[in-house]
Amino acid sequence: MNPSDLAELRTMYVFSPVDGESWELTFEGFRSRLLARNPGEFLRVDEGKAGPVRGSTLHFGITFGDEVLEGFVALAPEGVAITDCTALEAANFLVWLRNEVVPQDKAITFNTEWGIESQVQDATVPEVTRPRLVTAFLAHLEATGLE
């Protein structure tokens, strides 16, 4: 697959703490940071089988330019996913997540829907600029064996 086709592929990106660590993520904390960025973003909590928190997910929308991305937050297992986005859109979201939600002393791992299906291990997000994040995400997509 050529680089320009790879850059246009859309999939779900999943961001989570390193095994054994926690970001102390809460729905209210995520909600307040998202709405501080843009009060017009949407939020919806779906309660899971185990009650109002465990097993529940917080669905959200976040706008970057003209693009509205959708995602969800889970507390167990802890993490944030952004659905149906390109590597560049995922990098834009990750920069916001890293700066506004994840504690500065905590690492972030990532995977994609395709990576999970292909049993590619989660990778630690490098502390690099946005363009280099895009490069790392594209390399991950190549590692999933896309034809």
How many residues are present in the chain? 147
Residue 82: beta bridge partners? 13, 71
Coil/strand/helix, residue 18: coil
* Number of domain units in the chain: 1
75 membership: H or E segment, kind and range:
strand 67-75
User: Which residue range(s) make up the domain with 136?
Assistant: 3-143
Mean pLDDT value of segment 18-39: 95
Q: Taking the model in full, what pTM does it have?
A: 0.91
Dump pLDDT digits (tens) for 72-109.
Answer: 999 989 999 999 999 999 999 999 999 999 999 999 99
How many CB atoms within 10 Å of residue 7?
15
Q: How many CB atoms lie within 10 A of CB 99?
A: 10
pLDDT of 114-138, one tens digit each? 999 989 999 999 999 999 999 999 9
DSSP 8-state class, residue 113:
H
